[in-house]
């Protein structure tokens, strides 16, 4: 179920879909996605699909993880990265192997606890996490070279844009239930450049809500 063959098949699919960063592909190939999914779904861990992780949340499709990660890896520094929406910790683990320091925020306490266990199991130690409303970012740790948001707001939160360093990138799905676009926003002085990368589907980014 977790054989090298299934991982290589997934890599081939990602390459066919346009992922070309060897650094990103190598990290996805060597990060055991099966430890981040429920045991009953482990046989699907290397399928190129999103899977439920409880609490009405999902582990993102590997292509989307690769697409978002590649977009920031290819566009600038990776010293400090902020992740909004830790979930089970899979995207966190990918980022941790490509960035010097990762900060990650999760509003659902049981998911955060699970992510901590998963990262500890992998020996990942360059991640700080907190249980909070991710839409506010982590102002005490700004500025960030990159921010990845794994849930979709209707509009881009100004708080996240303002926590970017000069040249920093925010990659974020934006929109409602029927239409979401994956946007890449880059800070240039006091202004921001914005481009649309893909059509996507993420769970909504809920503001002002923290679950214990």
Active site members: 60
Among residues 189, 200, 186, which one has the least CA distance to residue 151?
Answer: 200
Angle at 106 between CA 64 and CA 205, to 5 degrees: 60
Among residues 191, 192, 153, 145, which one has the least CA distance to residue 172?
Answer: 153
The number of beta carbons lying within 10 Å of the beta carbon of residue 34 is 16
How many Cα atoms sit within 13 Å of 72 on the Cβ side? 32
The number of beta carbons lying within 10 Å of the beta carbon of residue 94 is 23
Tokens read off for 142: 């700004």
Cα separation, 173 vs 167, in Å, equals: 20
């Amino acid at each position: 179920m977790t054989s090298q063959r299934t991982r290589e098949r997934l890599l081939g699919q990602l390459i066919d879909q346009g992922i070309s960063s060897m650094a990103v592909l190598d990290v996805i190939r060597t990060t055991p996605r099966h430890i981040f999914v429920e045991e009953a779904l482990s046989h699907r861990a290397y399928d190129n699909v999103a899977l439920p992780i409880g609490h009405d949340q999902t582990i993102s499709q590997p292509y989307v993880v690769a697409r978002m990660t590649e977009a920031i890896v290819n566009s600038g520094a990776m010293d400090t990265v902020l992740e909004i929406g830790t979930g089970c910790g899979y995207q966190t683990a990918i980022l941790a192997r490509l960035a010097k320091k990762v900060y990650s925020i999760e509003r659902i306490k049981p998911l955060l606890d699970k992510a901590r266990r998963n990262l500890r199991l992998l020996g990942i130690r360059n991640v700080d996490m907190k249980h909070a409303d991710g839409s506010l970012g982590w102002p005490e740790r700004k500025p960030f070279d990159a921010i990845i948001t794994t849930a979709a707001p209707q509009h881009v939160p100004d708080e996240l844009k303002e926590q970017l360093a000069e040249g920093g990138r925010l990659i974020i799905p934006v929109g409602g239930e029927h239409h979401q676009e994956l946007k890449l926003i880059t800070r240039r002085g006091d202004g921001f450049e914005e481009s649309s990368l893909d059509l996507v589907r993420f769970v909504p980014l809920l503001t002002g809500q923290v679950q214990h």
